[in-house]
Amino acid sequence: MDNKERLILALKRNEDQLFFDEIITLKNEGVTRSEVKQILNEITEIFADGSKEYDLILEALDIVVGWCRPELKIWPDE
């Protein structure tokens, strides 16, 4: 299973924390911020605008790029 499939599966389980945990796991496995950002952008096309999943992906993108409170950041500032 590739990284994109892993994130889609976590998202479809409808458990927000599981989705964010999977992003953290990818980071810990050496996946870069840029790679995760690209995957998240790609999967926004799968879910309808305004759906719970779509909103969660946008929230995750904010956190991945660092547009969040400091304690929520996954990657250090570049």
Mean pLDDT of the chain: 91
pTM: 0.88
- The identity of residue 11, as a single letter, is L
- Annotate 62-77 with DSSP letters as a single string: HHHHT-S-GGG-SS--
DSSP string, the chain: --HHHHHHHHHHTT-HHHHHHHHHHHHHTT--HHHHHHHHHHHTTTS-TTSHHHHHHHHHHHHHHT-S-GGG-SS---
Residue 16 has pLDDT above 90, yes or no: no
Considering only residues 48 and 35, tell me which one the structure prediction assigns the higher pLDDT.
Answer: 35
